[in-house]
Structure 1
């Protein structure tokens, strides 16, 4: 089993915070920049924690059982819960409920972000099959690029949208593979240089990446908008590289502080935040919009309070048997 790396938790925690900023609407202009690498960073971070030595699961059945518990249980628990809330309060129709079982990348009740859970589930399954069937790295590269091409093409050229975000999963397999490969090669000199850039190099790369992002269309894996595909891939890689280095800085200098440990916790419990953030944000925005606090200030407060509320809920539930609803094992 892989040793957990705290800077990868920071990396994923920052990704969750970026996602919540978009849901709060605190920096709408920044979504153009964030969408270029935000979803790829989640796929890549998951690949970094892949079972590289193939020792964690002794069979495909156990692998599926583990992933279903960790991903499918929270998907349906919170998908159904928020559908019921949506139906009772807003009169949501049955079509929103049915989306949980088919095309789920739009139109879900309140917690639209859980589409990612079905996508990452497919990524896990597909990549497990690839990694256990093929040992040659070059063949793996060819295969994941082929899957990326299929995932991109079937919607862009044929208008086909597969159930449970399978289109997006095939795209995500490429970034998952990049995360896995980065872990395997992390002791190689070239990877060490890329993952340990100094401040100036990181800043220059961030500027270059930012310019290239705005040269492309606004990318969004959920909506399958990639713009110029080679530019999308370059921007995703540059964005992830910049933020992996920033994550290392945060972990190095603030990892033992409350803020550092908090961001690490967000990353370790990313599914909890994914499932709860939109519901809590909706409630808090409703409360603050009834008050006299200015828009941007209220949204900033809502973001902070949402993070704190979810942290408290996770800590409260984590020592009980109810933790299973977050995809965790029985206490």
Structure 2
């Protein structure tokens, strides 16, 4: 059990690193690749960790505390920051609060990935409700597919978004279901014991699915942008499996990086909430007069921003885990 949890934390750590890279906007091609699976990965992991709750009420209250407390607190923090950065404090603050509740944190100058928290809340609550109240597996699958299609199609046909990322949650509930199915049939995660065969199989999947990702339209769960829905689900699932295999490799053979990814994965909610804020501050410093990087390439500049941002976020983790600021993350 402990070993499996370490795999999960390493996988979450990899997902966080991909999220930060995606927020750097290095290139459209790289972003299309990262966005194709990095957020679905977290929904699949959560589905894998799902256990049918004994009491739906207690389960719901716990989820609200863990997910909505940091969302509301950090939403207020970013609303204040947004108001300070604009001339009209109260008007900007009000618009930012509206954005937090109704626009999935759009219109905030520092958005982070806060939208994921209410989306995960809705997804986990809907899934638990369906699992507890519908006893027929066929009916469960039908309802889950229906909700997924509703969420994925929402922005194509409806001129407004649902509050608190509800439409994003509906579109992602299928990923949650996939994670739960994988837990029930764990053998699908395994590969042949021979390392060469496993390596060749993973390589084939990386190439084939990489091409399919680039052929499909960009996936952005938060914005409600989907390509061909079945292909988007297929791509995200395959690359989550590929990164699971990378997590297994790190756990077994790369101890020098294992602790880093375990640390990031275990504290993933902190990185999720503060990454955009830290990135923007680091960009201001590195791209400003303090570091004159005119003679350096864009790649070196981006690498420096990425490394500095990750290090600063790692330094912030103890502030939010070992002090009174724990309350900002529902603890």
TM surpasses 0.5: yes
2:78 is the alignment partner of 1:82? yes
Q: Pairwise CA RMSD of aligned residues? A: 2.3
CA shift for structure 1 position 60 = 2.5
2:65 is the alignment partner of 1:69? yes
Q: Which runs of 5+ in 1 are unaligned?
A: none
Alpha-carbon distance between aligned partners in 2 of 1:157 and 1:315, rounded to the nearest angstrom: 45
Contact 2:279 2:309 in 1 (8 A): yes
Deviates more, 1:133-142 or 1:283-292: 133-142
Alpha-carbon distance between aligned partners in 2 of 1:80 and 1:193, rounded to the nearest angstrom: 46
CA shift for structure 1 position 191 = 4.2
Alpha-carbon distance between aligned partners in 2 of 1:231 and 1:61, rounded to the nearest angstrom: 36
After TM superposition, which residue ranges in structure 1, 4 or more long, deviate above 4 angstroms?
A: 1-4, 194-197
- Aligned match for 1:271, one of 269, 283, 290: 269
Corresponding residue of 1:208: 208
1:193-204 alignment runs, 5 A limit: 193=191, 198-204=198-204
Alpha-carbon distance between aligned partners in 2 of 1:239 and 1:161, rounded to the nearest angstrom: 28
Contact 2:123 2:176 in 1 (8 A): yes
Please list the CA deviations of residues 154-178 of structure 1 after superposition, one character each: whole Å capped at 9, or x if unmatched.
Answer: 3212334211111110111110111
CA shift for structure 1 position 309 = 1.6
2:321 is the alignment partner of 1:325? no
Contact 1:218 1:226 in 2 (8 A): yes
Output the TM-score relative to the length of structure 1: 0.89
Corresponding residue of 1:141: 141
Q: Which runs of 5+ in 2 are unaligned?
A: none
Corresponding residue of 2:284: 286
Alpha-carbon distance between aligned partners in 2 of 1:270 and 1:138, rounded to the nearest angstrom: 34
CA shift for structure 1 position 280 = 0.8
- Aligned match for 1:313, one of 309, 316, 320: 316
Deviates more, 1:104-113 or 1:200-209: 104-113
Corresponding residue of 1:220: 220
Alpha-carbon distance between aligned partners in 2 of 1:288 and 1:225, rounded to the nearest angstrom: 32
Alpha-carbon distance between aligned partners in 1 of 2:102 and 2:258, rounded to the nearest angstrom: 38
1:243/1:3 CA distance change after superposition, 3 Å: closer
Corresponding residue of 2:169: 169
